[in-house]
Amino acid sequence: MRYFKKRIDKPLGELLIEKGLISRTQLQEALKVQKERGGLIGEVMVSLGFAKEEDIAHILSLQYGFPYLPLEHYEIPKELVKIIPKQVASQYCLIPIDKIGSTLTIAMANPLNPQAIDDVEYISNSDVQIFVATASDIRKAIERCYAENP
């Protein structure tokens, strides 16, 4: 099991309240919705309109020390997407963005998913380096890149 060294030992919701991005009531409502429908708390808050994706990505970056990478104008090498099947990329909401030697760099919306990182390492047979990106940016990138390499 992969462990993440947190810079700030607080849950995402608490950090968002601390930064004044959401209220406690909104957090409770988001937790309730998450319990009913499932999904990630950050995505639930975005879907409910309580927070922006960028805010979530920034907070994750701040909390866990992963660098934030806006993917909007990022050019992803086409040969990289062949490393990770579309189904894996879509389900884990991640996309490979670079590979140097035996280190594969990926951008993912939820870097707190050790099994996803395990699977990427398993498939690519590489060490994985993580960047945080917004879920919508990653999904757009997946649609763009995998449309050409299904």
Partner 1 sequence: MKKLFLPLEALSLKRRIFIAFCLISLLPLLVVGFYLAYKNLPSYTYLILGINILLGWWIIVQILNSITSIIKKTQENFSLLGEVKPTEDEVKLLDEIFDKMTVKVRKSFQELREISKTTEKLNEEVSEKIALLSAILQINDLVSQGTDIKEVFRLIVRRIKSILNFDLTFILLDLEKGLFSLEAGEPSQNINFKTLSKDDFFLKPLIEKGEVILLDQNNPRRELENFSKDILGVNNLVLLPIFLKREIIGILGAGVKSLEFSFSEEELDTLKTFSKHISFIIEHQRISKRIKDLEINDPLTGLYNAKFAKERLDEEVKRAIVNQRPCGFILIKIKNFRDYIDKIGVLALESVLKKIANIMKDSLEVGQKAVRISEDSLGIIAPEKSKAQLEKQGSELLAKIKQEILAEGLDLVFSVAENPIDGASAEELISKASSI
CB of 17 to partner 1, least distance (A): 23
Tell me which of 18, 114, 143, 144 binds partner 1, using CB under 8 A.
Answer: 114
CA distance 17 to 19: 5
Under the binding rule (CB under 8 A), the answer on residue 134 touching partner 1 is no
Under the binding rule (CB under 8 A), the answer on residue 119 touching partner 1 is yes
Under the binding rule (CB under 8 A), the answer on residue 123 touching partner 1 is yes
CB within 8 A of 138, min separation 6: which ones? 71, 93, 94, 95, 107, 108, 109
**131 - beta bridge partners?**
107
CB of 135 to partner 1, least distance (A): 9
CA distance 94 to 82: 13
CB of 60 to partner 1, least distance (A): 14
Q: Is 55 helix (H, G, I), strand (E, B) or coil?
A: helix
Under the binding rule (CB under 8 A), the answer on residue 121 touching partner 1 is yes
Per CB under 8 A, the segment of 69-77, 95-103, 118-126, 136-144 that binds partner 1 is: 118-126
Comparing CB distances to partner 1, the nearer of 59 and 117 is 117
Comparing CB distances to partner 1, the nearer of 4 and 17 is 4
Q: What is the 3-state secondary structure (H, E, C) of 100-126?
A: ECCEEEEEECCCCCHHHHHHHHHHHCC
Name which of residues 30 to 69 contact partner 1 (CB under 8 A). Answer: 37-40
User: What b/e readout covers 96-114, taking b as 16+ CB neighbours within 10 angstroms?
Assistant: bbebeeeebbbbbbbbbbe
Residues in touch with partner 1 (CB under 8 A): 1, 37-40, 85, 87-88, 90-93, 110, 113-116, 118-119, 121-123
